[in-house]
Structure 1
Amino acid sequence: MLQVVELFAGVGGFRLGLESTNGFEVVWANQWEPATKIQHAFDCYAKRFGDSGIHVNEDISEVWNDAPQHDLLVGGFPCQDYSVARTLSGESGIQGKKGVLFWEIMKIIEDKSPRYVLLENVDRLLKSPSQQRGRDFSIMLASFRDAGYSVEWRVINAADYGFAQRRRRVFIFAYRNDTVFARNQRSLSPENRIHSNGFFAPKFPVHGEPLTKHKDVNNKLLNDIVDISNQYKENYRNAGTMIDGNVFSREVTPIEVDSIPLRDILEKAYNDYGPADEKYYLDNIKLRKSGRSELEEMKYLKGAKKIKRVSKSTGYEYKYSEGSMSFPDDLNKPGRTMLTSEATCNRSSHVVEDLYTGRIRYLTPEECELLNEFPAGWTNTGMPDRTRYFCMGNALVVGLIKMMGHRIIEIEEEEKRVIKKNPLQLELF
């Protein structure tokens, strides 16, 4: 059983996915929402997982050293500014921007040296910041390199691999350089790692040919992480590897499988919970300041439009245009990406035609949980609906983590087999 530390745990998506494989045990988890008096997400996590493992509701920057030794570190960390600079004493070290939580991850990695690390983030991480594209991700890669790890990453749309939501996220798998897996990866070409025998390809297959309109990236990171912060740029693709600072990145196309349509989610929620409450129907909501009903407002927001706007900084007048979106959402397709603002009157919220009344409504909290592959009712622990939607907008698709968990188990079984066969083999490596 692999021992796991879970950071930025939310309501436990990583844990649900990993422990469903019966190969992992979360021994320590941290969840802390700053500037929030009531810690709803932590309370949900603690209630659902009970006395299994240690649950910590404190600022990770204050308690990172309390994390025990473990095999796998996981977390969905915030996308922030990862820039670094020399310390005041010059060559004695570097300092990351204060409050950036990635540095707390690195402190744990450097102190506890887990064999594996699995992280999740929004895919714009690969391109940030806009004025120096790829800098932040390069700093991350260099940090792993300097800590003695290699890295593989992949942008994955959950719907491409059979799930009910078109949710695109970047997953980052780092592995210690003294593992059997690291030795095996070094023997492969970077193309082979991405397309066949790396971490992601066996569970998330891609077509053999790269997209020709995007050139492969084949580069080496600068040795000095401060130089990377100050001057390094890179156009990272949606898949890639880094070993010893050597970066290979390629735009790949998934071999798609049939996804779960939104209709199935609505049917399951109805079967388990019955009809949706009246409060979710748009025609049951009072008129807004615009003079339109909620139903009319959402129809307008989803429609194509050209709006005259004036730049606040320059006074320049321009036309802002946006295309139309399905109204209501197509029930024969997987759901769109959920945001934390789900079920509010904004363009990104899902609106569906109820299967049994024919009326237009928002998704219920239970339907949002099912879209992320959480058990329906998972966040029904006393938190208000608005917070339940917020938690699901921040969550990941549990089934993806289950698939990755099975892949880590395969890697670990190979590790044990090789070491049992020849205990000195890794030392020679």
Structure 2
Amino acid sequence: MKKLKVIELFAGVGGFRLGLEKTNKYQVVWSNQWEPSTKTQHASLVYEARFGSENHSNEDVASVLTSNIPDADVLVGGFPCQDYSVATTSQNSKGLIGKKGVLWWSIHRILSEKKNPPKYLFLENVDRLLKSPTSQRGRDFAIMLQSLNTLGYAVEWRVINAADYGMPQRRRRIFFLAYHKSTTVYKNLKKANKLNWISSEGTIAKAFPVLPQLKIDATFSLEEDLVTLSNTFNKEGKLSPFLNTGVFCDGTVYTSKTQPKLETKKTVLKDILQNGEVTPEFYIDKKDLPKWEYLKGSKKEVRTAKSGFTYNYSEGSMVFPDALDNASRTIITGEGGKSASRFKHVVATPNGLRRLTPIELERLNMFPDNHTKLEGISDTKRAFFMGNALVVGVVERIAKELFTTINS
């Protein structure tokens, strides 16, 4: 069976590509990585060092002509969580322009301008996408679903915590797949019992099983006009109507709160540690320990804002040092560097307390050791990459199942 051709957007250091290529069923024919806020394009340099520079674009995707992007079967990407509201209408973009610089609309533009758009989309985002913005919970996701519907796609989504399925990090992300109406998968989804699709028959349910589901928790349709949808969606609602799992087909949302079918074989923090190979700079100096203990500890104190306003501040304690017999907490972008922090991981070893190394952070995302090691790239920057990355194992399992679904 021939490999599926892939366009990879917002490629970072290549987590999506690693997951796809591990299946041996996908071939990336064009990739793009551009970081607007930095002069040196560190992530793109790592990507090119690992995968080569051929067919890789390091320019703002919003300025890339669609005609310069080759045709492909699948479009993938972990795109930034931004404000997706529809700003205005215009004749030149099928009646809609999202806010400038919002990268969702770059995906939308590529799909709408391509004569042969990708038949499948495989996308990832932070799970708060389902309930943003706070003023109109769920509006952003509703806009994305309806804009895909307008382009002829049906969608299935699920929030997956990698640790529920035996992976080494508690990292919750929303993954969604979209199927073009010209595909057999779309036709199967359209006629399927939506509860069965969500709980057992769908691509994501097969890759990541859930406990038996008794009912669809909510069904509702979305306003077709994107500007009206943007202005009116869930104006009064305190809660998002989108639950952690669902499908969207032909203008109708079907959504349920599913529970993962937990896997018994687990990888825990202890399993990924580099034993005896860690250099002194990762160890916490005894004199800095009180600062770490304060930041990790519980607090009830009076604080004063810059404006002079005083307020009561409280927060609970963090486990300190981190538990070694559990999957790790989520890596964040500020994981690197020596300074004390509430959110950095600290482990107890025979030689004392220490922070995690870049290799250990890579392992928590299931990247190969030293994937991000490159001359001129600091350990802090490597930690930042992993805070932005996804868990490769999640992509690999969905990609395998997607290939089977497409070819069955």
Q: Shorter-normalised TM-score: what interval? A: over 0.9
TM-score normalised by structure 1 residue count: 0.88
Q: Match for 1:218: what amino acid? A: T
From 331, 335, 352, give the equivalent of 2:328.
Answer: 335
Q: Judging changes above 3 Å, is the alpha-carbon distance between structure 1 residues 206 and 371 closer, same or farther for their aligned structure 2 residues?
A: same
1:221 aligned to 2:222? yes
- Residues 89 and 227, structure 2, Cα contact 8 Å, conserved in 1: no
- Residues 29 and 55, structure 2, Cα contact 8 Å, conserved in 1: yes
| Residues 229-378 of structure 1: pairs in structure 2 closer than 5 A | 229-233=230-234, 234-258=240-264, 259-266=266-273, 269-270=274-275, 274-283=276-285, 293-310=287-304, 317-344=310-337, 345-354=340-349, 356-357=350-351, 359-378=352-371
Deviation at 1:363, TM superposition (A): 0.2
Cα distance in 2, alignment partners of residues 238 and 109 from structure 1: 26
Count of matched residue pairs = 394
Deviation at 1:343, TM superposition (A): 3.4
Deviation at 1:312, TM superposition (A): 6.2
Aligned-residue sequence identity (percent) comes to: 49
Q: Report the counterpart of residue 417 of structure 1 in structure 2.
A: none
1:7 aligned to 2:2? no
Deviation at 1:39, TM superposition (A): 1.0
Deviation at 1:97, TM superposition (A): 0.6
Deviation at 1:323, TM superposition (A): 1.0
Deviation at 1:370, TM superposition (A): 0.4
* Partner secondary structure for residue 282 of structure 1: coil
Q: Report the counterpart of residue 287 of structure 1 in structure 2.
A: none
| Residues 19-34 of structure 1: pairs in structure 2 closer than 5 A | 19-34=21-36
Deviation at 1:94, TM superposition (A): 2.0
* Partner secondary structure for residue 189 of structure 2: helix
Q: Which region of structure 1 is more displaced relative to structure 2, 342-351 or 125-134?
A: 342-351
Deviation at 1:90, TM superposition (A): 11
Cα distance in 2, alignment partners of residues 152 and 42 from structure 1: 30
> Which stretches in structure 1 are left out of the alignment for 5+ residues?
285-292, 415-429
Cα distance in 2, alignment partners of residues 130 and 80 from structure 1: 13
Deviation at 1:310, TM superposition (A): 4.7
Deviation at 1:35, TM superposition (A): 2.9
Cα distance in 2, alignment partners of residues 343 and 25 from structure 1: 33
Cα distance in 2, alignment partners of residues 218 and 238 from structure 1: 14
- Residues 117 and 175, structure 1, Cα contact 8 Å, conserved in 2: yes
Q: Report the counterpart of residue 185 of structure 1 in structure 2.
A: 189
Q: Report the counterpart of residue 424 of structure 1 in structure 2.
A: none
* Partner secondary structure for residue 15 of structure 1: helix
| Residues 30-109 of structure 1: pairs in structure 2 closer than 5 A | 30-50=32-52, 53-65=54-66, 66-87=68-89, 93-109=95-111
Q: Judging changes above 3 Å, is the alpha-carbon distance between structure 1 residues 187 and 87 closer, same or farther for their aligned structure 2 residues?
A: closer
From 385, 393, 396, give the equivalent of 1:399.
Answer: 393
Q: Judging changes above 3 Å, is the alpha-carbon distance between structure 1 residues 89 and 110 closer, same or farther for their aligned structure 2 residues?
A: closer
Deviation at 1:317, TM superposition (A): 4.1
Measured on the aligned residues, the alpha-carbon RMSD in Å equals: 1.9
TM-score normalised by structure 2 residue count: 0.92
Q: Judging changes above 3 Å, is the alpha-carbon distance between structure 1 residues 380 and 88 closer, same or farther for their aligned structure 2 residues?
A: closer
1:16 aligned to 2:18? yes
Q: Match for 1:370: what amino acid? A: R
What whole-Å deviation, never above 9, does each CA across 1:318-338 have from its counterpart, x for those lacking one? 322211111100000011100
Q: Report the counterpart of residue 420 of structure 1 in structure 2.
A: none
Q: Report the counterpart of residue 402 of structure 2 in structure 1.
A: 408
Cα distance in 2, alignment partners of residues 182 and 134 from structure 1: 24
> Which stretches in structure 2 are left out of the alignment for 5+ residues?
235-239
Q: Report the counterpart of residue 237 of structure 2 in structure 1.
A: none
What whole-Å deviation, never above 9, does each CA across 1:80-105 have from its counterpart, x for those lacking one? 01111333679972221111000001
* Partner secondary structure for residue 403 of structure 1: helix
What whole-Å deviation, never above 9, does each CA across 1:210-254 have from its counterpart, x for those lacking one? 69xxx8221000011111100112421100110011001111110
Cα distance in 2, alignment partners of residues 244 and 312 from structure 1: 51
- Residues 332 and 388, structure 2, Cα contact 8 Å, conserved in 1: yes
Deviation at 1:111, TM superposition (A): 2.7
